[in-house]
Chains A and B, each alone.
Chain A
Amino acid sequence: MLITGASRGLGRALARAAAHEGASLALCARGAADLGAVAAECRALGADVLAVTADIAEPRDVERLAATALDRFGVVDIVVNNASTLGPTPLPFLSDASPAELEAVFRTNVIGPMRMTQAIIGGMLLRGRGVLVNISSDAAVNGYPGWGVYGASKAALDALTRTWAAELSDTGVRMISVDPGDMDTAMHRAAVPDADPAELARPEDVAGRMVELLAGALPAADRVEVAALP
């Protein structure tokens, strides 16, 4: 399983949950120290771990991550495009946000996942097997004041998922958007500093449910809300 943005929050929790289930892992994040710590935690759980310091917004980094993972493991069965950025915080109203910031957010949240997917999906299509997960948000489908830049990027990612999923019909390769819901993470604290942690899901719980989801028969829908899973 290849997980981007694996050093913190949901990415870290997913890596640990997958390691616990015996998965081999290719993990990436921008910060080498945090990534190294997560890789060590996963190795301690018995996982074979490849850790690659990489920024998903950089095309060369994406290729290096994909090529290194394919060199090490030969095949990648699952990709979780988890890395994303909120853009500027405190979250600005769209009337006040700069288009340059929107562009930067799209590079990480939309173009990065598209490159990552294109780098890995060829091998999946040759084998007729594979799952690609794009982490979405309820900001993709709702107009929350301040969440426009991030929400637009996640709506764009959802649109990629929806179309790609249709193009992949009958190939054995699946692509889904997963909305993990509001979690108690550094990213959420940056967006909503005064949120009550007691009202937020723990990333470990969300990650556990996602690993269960990926281990079973995937739902037919191309978008899943973790909170609505049975």
Chain B
Amino acid sequence: MIAVPPVQRAALPAELRGLRRDSARLCVIDRWSSQIAHSVVARLGDFLSPGSLLVVNSSRTLPGALPMTREDGGAVQVRPAVRRPGHWDALAVEAAPPHRNIRLRFGELLRARDGLSLRVVGHRDDAPLLWQLAVETGDPLATLLREGEPIRYSYVPEPVTLEHYQTVYGRVPGSVETPSAGRHLTWELLMSLRRHGVGLTDIVLHCSISSLQDDAVDARKPLIEEWFEVDAGAARAVNAASRVVAVGTSVVRALESSVDASGVVQPARGWATLAVTPATKIRSVDALLSGFHEPPATHLDMLRAFVDTPLLERAYRESRERGYLWHEFGDAMLIL
């Protein structure tokens, strides 16, 4: 897959670059004709016929990087990859960039400023960089909301406030990294699509962390489960739609986790453990709005389940030549 020069990584969201969210550029890949077109997200309606259904992920983003103090007084930043009642599987990294992994001690207690304390009880066998932390005191959600900061990678050099990570329809809090494909959408655009006959429904999938801050480990693409819910209304809408357009790969993961043997989406909730790879036959989704990400993101494997690698490479190359921006604050891709 094509490497991206650093200059093309989006350091700020569109609205902090003096633009509208829906002004993001849109690379449109028609996988049936192998044609590639270039437009903007605000003109999404040009590519969607009446009867199509947009499925968005209405998970709300939490400030997922929590500053905590170790027993020896050292600082640690905790990033909960999996949040269960009373228990986190979390990355423990240095408080400052480049946020290298920290080796915690079994049995030690981590404390947040407002009273949350977490006991290190082990680490995951399948992803040893994820520490199993048991809540001893406090309310983890309240502490994250009070003390956390958005998880930020090196291509976003300055802090960006949480509101810029939220989609305009974010509802149930739970993602620790933003479901970024939907960040481009505005209600003005969604309302206009509705008038044009394009339906809208939502699922919830709480996005986990996209990097374990270790290139070798990330390259092995460890599978982290994510909580999802597809309710009866969403399942009904998806099954009735003439074309299902997933806004983001998280929607693909949720819907593919809910589809039965006959290809019908059933209401479902639980932990999504499905890995979508180039070999996966996608049954519930016809089109995908997505962003641009870099290897070894599992995201790219997901895209290759929709598009042959040569066509995807051509789209990436053209987009790079046209100055598209990469990552969660970057530009967009529509695969038809």
Contact = CB atoms under 8 A, between A and B. Distances in A.
Interface residues of A, number: 18
B284 interface: no
B168 interface: yes
Nearest to A171: B191
B47 interface: no
Interface in B182-235: 187-188, 190-191, 200-202
B161 A71 contact: no
A64 B169 contact: no
Contacts of A64: 142, 145-146
A68 B142 contact: yes
A37 to B, nearest CB: 21
A123 interface: yes
Interface residues of B, number: 26
A75 B202 CA distance: 13
Nearest to B141: A71
A70 B173 contact: yes
A59 interface: yes
B168 A122 contact: yes
A125 B161 contact: no
Given A126-B169, A171-B191, A68 B145 contact: yes
B170 interface: yes
B163 A71 contact: no
B146 A74 contact: no
Contact of A122 (B142, B145, B170): B170
Nearest to B195: A170
A122 B170 CA distance: 6
B77 interface: no
A67 interface: yes
Contact of A67 (B173, B188, B190): B173
B58 interface: yes
B274 interface: no
Given A59-B161, A67-B173, A71-B172, 12 more contacts: A67-B60, A68-B142, A70-B60, A74-B172, A115-B163, A122-B169, A122-B171, A122-B187, A123-B58, A125-B190, A167-B187, A171-B191
28 contacts: A59-B161, A59-B163, A60-B162, A63-B145, A63-B162, A64-B146, A67-B60, A67-B141, A68-B142, A70-B60, A71-B172, A71-B173, A71-B174, A74-B172, A115-B163, A122-B169, A122-B171, A122-B187, A123-B169, A123-B171, A125-B169, A126-B58, A126-B169, A126-B201, A126-B202, A167-B187, A167-B188, A171-B191
